[in-house]
Amino acid sequence: MKRHIICLGDSNTHGYCADPMDCTDPELSRFNEEERWTKLLQKSLGDEYLVIEEGLSGRTTVFQDPLYEGLDALSYLWPCLKSHEPVSLLIIMLGTNDSKERFGMNAYAIGLGMRRLVQKAATIDCWGPGGTPNILIIAPPPIHEGVLTSPVASEMGITPPTCVEKSRQLPEEYRRVAAETGAHFLDACECEFNSIDYMHLTKKGHADLAAILAKLVPSFLFPKE
């Protein structure tokens, strides 16, 4: 059986494209299978791996959105992991949506949300081989201050502390969570995002992330039994 790698994330995993000039299928507002980081990672890793894309726009770590149902990863975690078992590696890249003003959470609280999510994942009987949890936390690229005057400013909120400030503090919080839970950690700050909403990956950003992960992921996987 192939090694199952689940990529649990938000619109940056689903592949939302904010710039019509940057993607092949602008009418879909989504990068296609030749552009998304998950698909590029699959191509790089090869046939021994199955990279499973679990991206949902608006998804948070554990916080329930008062406007839209089903967006917290915690509620979806058990069926997600059980559906794709045995899981060799769970990659979690979340936190951008947690920084929205309507949730009222600071970076520390978002970090606690990630910790709760990782701890829950570790208790689910889905891991193989050996049954040992294997989780990679990715801190998404920090939101640029340009978002505060962008078309999504009202959605993200402009009251201090803003999403910009919170997202810049997330890598430190996530690094601590990873150390406390035994998870791997990656800061995706070098991956390019667009200059329209200042928080979604560009086509190049997807390629950047895939290239980084293609080098790291094999070292995170346990030998097959």
pLDDT digits (tens, 9 = 90+) for 117-155: 999 999 999 998 789 999 999 999 999 999 999 999 999
Q: Once rounded to an integer, what is the mean pLDDT over residues 82-87? A: 98
pLDDT for 225: 41
Question: The whole model's pTM is what?
Answer: 0.96
Q: Once rounded to an integer, what is the mean pLDDT over residues 162-179? A: 98
Q: Which residue's entry shows tokens 């699959």?
A: 42
Separation between Cα atoms, residue 69 and residue 61, nearest integer Å: 14
pLDDT for 46: 96
pLDDT for 129: 78
Q: Once rounded to an integer, what is the mean pLDDT over residues 181-198? A: 96
Q: Work out the mean pLDDT of the chain and round it to a whole number.
A: 96
Separation between Cα atoms, residue 89 and residue 7, nearest integer Å: 9
Domains and CATH numbers, the chain: 3-220 (3.40.50.1110)
pLDDT for 80: 98
Lowest pLDDT segment from 2-6, 69-73, 95-99, 219-223: 219-223
Q: Where are the alpha helices (DSSP H) in the chain?
A: 11-14, 37-45, 73-83, 107-123, 153-156, 163-181, 203-220
- Residue 181 vs residues 4, 102, 120: alpha-carbon distances, Å: 21, 28, 11
Residue 60, Cβ neighbours under 10 Å: how many?
Answer: 25
Q: Which residues contact 217 (CB under 8 A, 6 or more apart)?
A: 5, 41, 45, 49, 89, 136
33, two tokens: 């299978």
The residues with which 4 forms a beta bridge, in sequence order, are 50, 87
Per residue in 33-84, pLDDT (tens digit) is 999 999 999 999 999 999 999 999 999 999 999 999 999 999 999 999 999 9
pLDDT band at 216 (very low <50, low <70, confident <90, very high): very high
Q: Does pLDDT of 105 surpass 60?
A: yes
Nearest Cα residue to 151 out of 81, 105, 198, 203: 198
Q: Does pLDDT of 111 surpass 60?
A: yes
Separation between Cα atoms, residue 142 and residue 133, nearest integer Å: 27
